Homo-oligomer: A and B are copies of this chain.
Amino acid sequence: MEYILRLDMSKQSVTEEKVPAKYEDKGGRSITSNLLYDEVPAGCDPLGPNNKIIFAPGLLGGTGASSSGRLSVGAKSPLTRGIKEANSGGTAGGYLARIGVRALVVEGEANEGKKYILHIGEDRKTDLIEVDFEVNGAYELINRLCDKWSDKIAVICVGPAGLNRFRGASVIMSDPDFELRFAARGGLGAVMGAKGLLAVIVDSPGKAQRNPVDKDKFNQTVRKLNKLLIESPKTKNQQMYGTASIVSAVNEMGALPTRNFSTGNFEGVETLTGEALHNLIDKRGGKGRYGKRCMSGCIIKCSNVVPDEKGNIIVSTLQYETIGLLGSNCGFSSLDHVAHLNRLCNDIGLDTIETGAALGVAMEAGLVDFGDYDGAIELLEEVRKGTPTGKIIGNGALITGQVLGVRRIPVSKGQAFPSYDPRALKGNGVTYATSPMGADHTAGNAFGDRKTTDPLKKTEQVELSRKLQLRAAVLDLLGFCIFARPPLLADPQLMVDMLNGMYGWDLNEEKLWQMGRDLLEIEWAFNEREGFTPGQDRLPEIFSMEPLPPTNSVFDVDQKEMAGLRDY
């Protein structure tokens, strides 16, 4: 039996109800988005009491299927002012699924200045605890929570940025090693902070497993999937180099954000690549490692631990998007610099993409120079302190650019571009412009299709993005990491069989894709109710005007064609 838990921060009450029939086939991003559509009124203040923040494991969360334990977080975004879902690895997704929580809906808001922790124990017994300690950083906070409870918990929390309602704030989750994971995008941490909810603690359900309706069918399919993942050459590559494995390729395409998206090639790229990262970890040893998991049972294990020269942990995990945005985009060619900036963002509870883009814009404005490490650290510390300058940066790239008067502001629907310049990877430009999520690298990323669809040509990109957005939607509602994509998309029957096995349904492939289309429809409908139209599905004008070296490409996909992306 699965439940929707509701935490009303205004009334300080928690209730639970069985998953109603209308949400029975919805999980992850599809249950967060449908609940938001049904319950969040149009025009509501994203940081006010009428917004809701919803946590939901995917339909296959908490099972033995590799890489299926991601936790979706959904809310109306204070950055995009549209619907938002961001999902994260870590342990909370699997724990919640295994104790029968299909979704945790947080609504209302606590009294000004108050902050609370929700503890969810055995049989979904809950406890809302007011706390009054200062939160200086997420690392200290997680330690404090482990000290109070145990290391048998999963933590979902915010840092100072979320408590201060900064639009660049992420939702933080703990992983099996109590390193930090992020539902980073869309300023969802600000929504959680605005509710006065500092953290959700979920006790480990121990060995409790979810019971598939058709155990044999389910387990058999899972074994098949896991075997395919083990045998995939991509898996080995991910274990060795992680997401950073693509740094070189993106740079070669001329799509690597460099000094506030002013060029697509970074002269310091050699020291930022996946190979460089691998070698650094190898050389320094100590606590450094690669092939680390963010979720139990994951076969791909793309994560790493970056050690300092003494072998102590700087940060885990250092990822591609962070290397692009906090690295080349800010003019840093040292992985040490990037790793330390990453840790600082993590500690403050900031999205590294949004914040890296904001720093790049601030550097272009001359607040500090590109490549000025001490200056960048100082700016981030200002965010932590909440100085006026810190509040500018903490609120993301758009506000930073508007305040500081920068013309090239790399955002779509108010949200910073991830680490692919849309002029040199036009399929991603289409996704940034048209996705209900704003500029997002997991909502339909065309990088993997660069060999079949020329990333520089202006045609076929809308069709490509449409297909990729649908795939992303399906993976997100199942709870899968996008790295599990290859076998799942090569044989979608795997997903069908797992769902049928788990729930006793009678899906087929077509119905599976329809679930994805329905999800996108409801998200577009949410945004339309907020006043968004396909006419707004465009990138900032400058990306159509200013050629990007070295390809000298501009973003020239036809706007009318993009506006038609929603027509299946």
- Which of A98-106, A328-336, A386-394, A420-428 interfaces with chain B? A386-394
Instruction: Give, as a whole number of angstroms, the nearest-CB distance from A195 to chain B.
Output: 13
B165 with A405: CB separation less than 8 A: yes
B45 with A542: CB separation less than 8 A: yes
Which of A367, A404, A541 is packed against the most chain B CB atoms within 10 Å?
A541
A526-550 interface code vs B (CB 8 A; 1 in, 0 out): 0011111101101011100100000
Bin the interface of chain A by size: 35 or more
- Which of A309-317, A395-403, A479-487 interfaces with chain B? A395-403
A43 within 8 A of B: yes
Assuming the contacts A529-B535, A542-B45, asked whether A395 and B403 have C-beta atoms less than 8 A apart, the reply is yes
Instruction: Give, as a whole number of angstroms, the nearest-CB distance from A206 to chain B.
Output: 41
B541 with A531: CB separation less than 8 A: no
A48 with B399: CB separation less than 8 A: no
A129 within 8 A of B: no
A511 within 8 A of B: no
Which of B43, B50, B167, B405 meets A402, CB within 8 Å? B167
For A405, the chain B residues whose CB sits under 8 A away are 47, 164-166, 391
For A532, the chain B residues whose CB sits under 8 A away are 531
A237 within 8 A of B: no
A541 with B43: CB separation less than 8 A: yes
B535 with A530: CB separation less than 8 A: yes
Which of B42, B389, B407, B538 meets A388, CB within 8 Å? B389
A459 within 8 A of B: no
For A536, the chain B residues whose CB sits under 8 A away are 530-531
A40-56 interface code vs B (CB 8 A; 1 in, 0 out): 00111101101000000
For A50, the chain B residues whose CB sits under 8 A away are 541
A551 within 8 A of B: no
In the docked arrangement, what's the CA distance between A531 and B433, Å?
Answer: 13
A559 within 8 A of B: yes
Specify the chain B residue showing the minimal Cβ separation from A403: B391
For A535, the chain B residues whose CB sits under 8 A away are 42, 528-531
Instruction: Give, as a whole number of angstroms, the nearest-CB distance from A538 to chain B.
Output: 5
A400-443 interface code vs B (CB 8 A; 1 in, 0 out): 00111101000000000000000000000000000000000000
For A392, the chain B residues whose CB sits under 8 A away are 388, 392, 403
Which of B164, B395, B407 meets A47, CB within 8 Å? B407
For A44, the chain B residues whose CB sits under 8 A away are 541
A365-396 interface code vs B (CB 8 A; 1 in, 0 out): 00100000000000000000000110110010
In the docked arrangement, what's the CA distance between A476 and B353, Å?
Answer: 46
Which of B165, B166, B399, B545 meets A399, CB within 8 Å? B399
For A559, the chain B residues whose CB sits under 8 A away are 42-43
In the docked arrangement, what's the CA distance between A103 and B389, Å?
Answer: 41
Instruction: Give, as a whole number of angstroms, the nearest-CB distance from A47 to chain B.
Output: 7
B407 with A45: CB separation less than 8 A: yes
Instruction: Give, as a whole number of angstroms, the nearest-CB distance from A313 to chain B.
Output: 32
Specify the chain B residue showing the minimal Cβ separation from A408: B45
Specify the chain B residue showing the minimal Cβ separation from A48: B541
Instruction: Give, as a whole number of angstroms, the nearest-CB distance from A398 to chain B.
Output: 9
Assuming the contacts A392-B388, A395-B403, A403-B399, asked whether A43 and B538 have C-beta atoms less than 8 A apart, the reply is yes
For A166, the chain B residues whose CB sits under 8 A away are 405
In the docked arrangement, what's the CA distance between A167 and B399, Å?
Answer: 12
In the complex, the 5 A-B pairs of residues with the closest C-beta atoms, listed nearest first:
A531-B536, A531-B535, A388-B389, A45-B541, A43-B538
Query: What is A's interface to B at a CB cutoff of 8 Å?
Result: 42-45, 47-48, 50, 164-167, 367, 388-389, 391-392, 395, 399, 402-405, 407, 528-533, 535-536, 538, 540-542, 545, 559
Can you name 19 A-B pairs with beta carbons within 8 Å?
A42-B535, A42-B538, A43-B559, A45-B540, A47-B407, A48-B542, A164-B405, A166-B405, A167-B402, A388-B388, A391-B404, A391-B405, A399-B399, A403-B403, A528-B535, A530-B535, A530-B536, A531-B532, A531-B535
Known: A45-B541, A389-B389, A399-B403. 7 other contacts (CB 8 A): A47-B407, A48-B407, A50-B541, A391-B403, A395-B403, A399-B399, A403-B403
